[in-house]
Structure 1
């Protein structure tokens, strides 16, 4: 990352954010309407309760920002923006359960576990609009904030769970983000209305919520004093794993790690602007969380969603990284915060230019807009809200000077691992390598240069996939049972990398056209290793049919996603043994392309070599956007092998048996040499269900990677594998190894000398 003085200053970043907001505000007129019988009130979006209400609140914040700072942007009319902001704000206040009107769906909003989120995201605008607020506005806001605070104090529940909850696993009640925003709301209400008889109780309850926001198991015994009490006295449970992995919405959710930090950021800056004290508990473990989270940000500003994402690519959680970066700089001393802000602004600007109408998502999410105006305007307003916070708080943010001896990539280099949750990262300036067993789609990896996060797409990436006929497809607007489940996994780290092996049960909850249903159709085992050479990862797959006949729709070993959308200008170029291939997107039709090559060099210096299990790499192309459950990014899928069904497999029959290697940050010539000179290859193993590969690393050292895909434990004597004069060494202990014992579905990586 460039950290030279030529980078835009924070003032220039504000101009960029304001320009984006100004253009967006004009496009947002398509979704603006005045209220029947109330011409002074208006609504952006649907005006419904729930997300419609929060969309309205975020719009008010965005337009308030233009009302105050719009004079800095040519062509902006601050008076018009102020009228829109006040019209939206006043309708929002009037349609609350403390008000006299209703939302456009006939309900009033508020007094739920999530209603404080919208007010928290709007309250920076309250400070901006103060010169134009009437006594009635002030009274209405007091009614909203105090009634919400009293409900949180006395009646709080989330779903069927009453009171504050904090559990590591989503299935048991993982509530870090709502604990943070409800705690923030309580403190805000007490700070704004200290004369309220419950203000003291609100403050104490705020501390309990905030201490149980970014909470870990060690807090249960922590004697450190925060706000007059040991942490352990207010601690109720751990929302985060010991190394700050977050199992939210049922998967490793990097995005909600950001949401947790963004809620601390909003209260931090709002109180700072008002000259009000912040609660000590607000910053509880935020520094610890940030030290992990910053490793999960590509240097172009995009989040590295190592656990996948159930929502729109580049949307929602990504937006709220912007205020989080300001908070990280101002409160936590992050020296590269402004750099990352500017890089994120760059890709927001690119998509806005791509749309050519001022909107943030109008082309890429055109289908979603038709399907759900409510959800589409929610997403548009999230980006507007984050940009407005950025423009508002930039001037008050203290940006530490970046260290001249280290750039961002050097500062985030190294390993992170969360063994219990099944996730690991190794990062260097030439390779971002990760694997997460409890990703949204389960069993997902990454390997790419960390300088270009646009090359990443998470869905099933590097995990392989066996899709049975009639398996249910999850989608965002309705539930679907999962078609795969975790059985087991094991992770090991060592200096410079990690390896892992585990099993996913494929084809669960299969229902064949009214007459037959079944589950646990097959077992897919995957072994994955990041070598200690800062370039290479290796993957092995083995899938076997269960105890009955099964019908498989498609099989994909490798499953490397290649984004080919607006950030690639809809064009990719591949180099293979058969020549160069140019791929324009979208494809003219859905099709599978045999590359007639065991190796390929991909854009962004990513090389792939098939080791065994297929005659060639194959590419699956799509005529429409295909990534994620909401289909919001165009990707090409490279597989080794690729087989399309329906295919019949008998009980116990092998479905997939393949291996491959990826190298990051190297040229096509180096990829070709690795393949054609057999510097990476399968090794014959005397134990039938074991797989062994031998790879020359980019550090000129040789490695053996092996996995036990059988049903029983076994021991392999290395004299059957090594050449005369060679010796094996354990990468963790650096001790010599002469034999390897492996339990089922485990792996081992050795160095050869």
Structure 2
């Protein structure tokens, strides 16, 4: 559920923290959430809390809908009662919440990494509820956030239930960033024909690196068919941009000299092709292709599509949040694939807008895919950090060790940010060692 249910019960948690521990940030959190509630009620226009966003859910499960409505009423009344009874300090007047700087944090079991700076919040989680997913957002703009296998691609077979299972993963954090690698398998279940078994349709490798520049994330994706299969849809990249009441139902995209505006209220079903691999979102976020991306697609299904967990097989419950889906490729409709076929293989950067972007003109990481002669399973991406440093992400997606030759240019040394150690140039090239199914993130030094 988005913007309801568990989030409602943050109110008593905040007030408990304020009462027991004197946490002075809690009134700001409370005020921000109450502003969201008021905004949604005004959008509904009927005095209910969730009648617009959960209209379809109410049609198939009045009990579930009523439970969500009553949860919000209970949490709000609890907060009002505690404030009156305990005479809690602070004010519930609307005020901006502070941006907290977390540094880098990770959780081994879930394969979760997080770094939150003044400008950027970046995260990745492998063992998530709708796994895996990643985020790269301006730290002060949560209306750009959607987690449902975000930045992890979406491949749907012919079954009613489609999701990714985790095969393996590893991660490392360092000052200001993180590096993570993992494999997933796409599953399609509950086929129409009773004799049609559940299928593992495709395998995927993903590499994600949050650069220590408080601005940039690099992502590599490769998906391949496991056995001959029919796929109902394919959406690589899968960057989801919420376009609902919480951002005012409006997004503006720019690519080259082209400006596109999407309206979340018009319920238009469309897929917009954008030539090239560069797309700016609301002047706040930038997606740039490094390799394998000649065009991007903005897919709008014409309905709210983010709702209950995909594993619950309740598509009839509808969605509670509408998002624009930034994809490449964007295959809509059934297509047959041979075993071993590459569905997509690409790399890209996502950057948050610098505070001075209006004065510096073009901005971004300018990612570049580099050749790795003799190493077909190696992917190399160089990018410019906001901190003025050149970075190199090197990934070995294969099952054998590799040591690609990389032209050094003006650089003389590679410093490994996650694993430590250095690689010196010899004869004008670097030869970093890449064990099977691993990745390394380097800082280029002159």
Q: Could you tell me which residue of structure 2 aligns to residue 638 of structure 1?
A: 326
Normalising by structure 2, we get a TM-score of 0.88
Aligned positions, number: 421
| 1:386 CA displacement | 0.8
Aligned alpha-carbon RMSD (Å): 2.2
Which secondary structure does the structure 2 equivalent of 1:408 belong to?
Answer: coil
Deviation string for 1:178-213 (max 9, x for gaps)?
xxxxxxxxxxxxxxxxxxxxxxxxxxxxxxxxxxxx
| 1:670 CA displacement | 6.6
Q: Which of 204, 208, 212 does residue 532 from structure 1 map onto?
A: 212
Q: Could you tell me which residue of structure 2 aligns to residue 440 of structure 1?
A: 129
Residues 364-383 of structure 1 mapped to structure 2, 5 A cutoff: 364-383=53-72
> Do structure 1's residue 692 and structure 2's residue 371 form an aligned pair?
no
Q: Give the distance between the partners of 1:445 and 1:725, measured in 2 at CA.
A: 31
Q: Could you tell me which residue of structure 2 aligns to residue 682 of structure 1?
A: 369
> Do structure 1's residue 726 and structure 2's residue 412 form an aligned pair?
yes
Q: Is contact 2:27–2:90 with CA below 8 Å preserved after alignment? A: no
Q: Could you tell me which residue of structure 1 aligns to residue 269 of structure 2?
A: 590
Select the structure with the greater relative contact order (CA < 8 A; seq sep ≥ 6).
Answer: 2
**Gaps (5+ residues) in structure 2?**
92-96, 309-317, 425-430
Q: Which of 185, 189, 202 does residue 522 from structure 1 map onto?
A: 202
Q: Could you tell me which residue of structure 1 aligns to residue 152 of structure 2?
A: 463
Deviation string for 1:401-458 (max 9, x for gaps)?
9xxxxx832x443122101221010001211100010112211001111212121111
Q: Give the distance between the partners of 1:510 and 1:746, measured in 2 at CA.
A: 34
Deviation string for 1:587-617 (max 9, x for gaps)?
4542211022321111261111122212111
Which secondary structure does the structure 1 equivalent of 2:33 belong to?
Answer: helix
| 1:664 CA displacement | 1.3
Which secondary structure does the structure 2 equivalent of 1:595 belong to?
Answer: strand
Q: Is contact 2:243–2:264 with CA below 8 Å preserved after alignment? A: yes
Which has the larger share of helix?
A: 1
Q: Give the distance between the partners of 1:326 and 1:551, measured in 2 at CA.
A: 52
Which secondary structure does the structure 1 equivalent of 2:206 belong to?
Answer: strand
Residues 8-47 of structure 1 mapped to structure 2, 5 A cutoff: none
Return closer, same or farther for 1:334/1:705 CA change in 2, 3 Å cut-off. Answer: same
Return closer, same or farther for 1:394/1:641 CA change in 2, 3 Å cut-off. Answer: same
Q: Could you tell me which residue of structure 2 aligns to residue 736 of structure 1?
A: 422
> Do structure 1's residue 562 and structure 2's residue 241 form an aligned pair?
yes
Deviation string for 1:505-535 (max 9, x for gaps)?
1135474634432532221111111000001
> Do structure 1's residue 716 and structure 2's residue 408 form an aligned pair?
no
Q: Could you tell me which residue of structure 2 aligns to residue 61 of structure 1?
A: none
Q: Give the distance between the partners of 1:720 and 1:448, measured in 2 at CA.
A: 31
| 1:371 CA displacement | 1.9
Q: Give the distance between the partners of 1:447 and 1:351, measured in 2 at CA.
A: 25
Return closer, same or farther for 1:325/1:340 CA change in 2, 3 Å cut-off. Answer: same
Deviation string for 1:548-597 (max 9, x for gaps)?
21122222221111111111221111111141111112445422110223
Q: Is contact 1:431–1:449 with CA below 8 Å preserved after alignment? A: yes
Residues 621-632 of structure 1 mapped to structure 2, 5 A cutoff: 621-629=300-308, 630-632=318-320
Q: Give the distance between the partners of 1:491 and 1:419, measured in 2 at CA.
A: 8
Q: Which of 410, 414, 418 does residue 103 from structure 2 map onto?
A: 414
| 1:673 CA displacement | 4.6
Q: Give the distance between the partners of 2:141 and 2:102, measured in 1 at CA.
A: 16
Deviation string for 1:129-162 (max 9, x for gaps)?
xxxxxxxxxxxxxxxxxxxxxxxxxxxxxxxxxx
Q: Could you tell me which residue of structure 2 aligns to residue 169 of structure 1?
A: none
Q: Give the distance between the partners of 1:748 and 1:670, measured in 2 at CA.
A: 31
Q: Give the distance between the partners of 2:38 and 2:411, measured in 1 at CA.
A: 58
Larger radius of gyration: 1
Return closer, same or farther for 1:670/1:650 CA change in 2, 3 Å cut-off. Answer: farther
Which has the larger share of strand?
A: 2
Q: Give the distance between the partners of 1:512 and 1:642, measured in 2 at CA.
A: 24
Q: Give the distance between the partners of 1:671 and 1:471, measured in 2 at CA.
A: 47
Which secondary structure does the structure 1 equivalent of 2:275 belong to?
Answer: coil
| 1:399 CA displacement | 4.6
